Amino acid sequence: MDVELRFRTEGNANVIFRIASLSPARDARDQRPSDAPEHAVRDADRHGVLEPDWRFSDDPCEQRRYNQRMRARRRELLTPYAQNAQLQRAQDFARNVNQHNLTGARETLLRLKKQMPFYQDDETTYNFYLNTVADWIPPRHLVQQDLIQLGDDFIQECNKELRLQEKSGRRDRSRYGKYLHATKKALVLRDMESDNPDKSVTLEFKPKWLWQSPHAPKGATRCRTCALRVKRKSEGRKESKTHGILCPLAIATGNSELV
């Protein structure tokens, strides 16, 4: 399938490109050789292993061990697909089942990091996701992501796109002069945008909300989100539509009136 990169959006630390298909996707079964063997994986196995019960145990450590066993079983089930040169089909299979078939026909996002003082490479981020986060949280509650290798001139070409956007006035002036970090690896993510925003609500939880910013002054009482909101207000900047007025820590109070 032919694809192209299309600029999607950018934040303080990342730039997001959409990996858009130029030709209609074919069903994975149409790409499967006629003589390829069927693998004995029952539907019950697929859903039971790839979507483990997140309420298996009230003991966090026991739940974590259960998740690890399910991840090992998941790899065992997917191995025959990869061994028969059907790796792409296996990846599609895993995503489709893990995400309740929400990702099969959806476009994927490529996240590229900017050159920032607090830069952390995507390989470190991915290893944390794979070896720590995924142990505690089952796949259906996580954004599907994979680490990919980039071509030699890839970042250079993407930075050219950012400069063109500056010249045409399409890039926010606060982002001018900030470009992508030269790297050979990046993350591809599932697109979380709703197919029908009028009939659905998307909620996002970021782990960094739960502890204080390492750059906060000593004795700071505001959470990092509220502190950033106050900073923007003091600079005369309008609140973004996506930021809202909710303090993330209010979710942990148990008071529904604050949420």
pLDDT per position as a tens digit, 102-161: 334 456 788 999 998 878 899 998 888 888 887 777 666 777 777 888 888 889 999 999
CB 209 within 8 A of CB 225: yes
Give the E-state strand segments of the chain in sequence order: 3-10, 14-21, 108-113, 145-149, 185-190
DSSP state letter for 131: I
Torsion of CA 149, 155, 156, 161, to 10 degrees: 130
Contact indicator for 256, 245 with CB cutoff of 8 Å = no
Say how far apart CA 204 and CA 96 lie, in whole Å: 21
Domain spans, the chain: 3-193, 204-259
| Mean pLDDT, all residues of the chain | 72
Give the pTM.
0.61
C-alpha 21/C-alpha 3 separation (Å) is 4
Q: What share of the chain in percent tops pLDDT 70?
A: 66
The pLDDT of 58-78, averaged and rounded, is 75
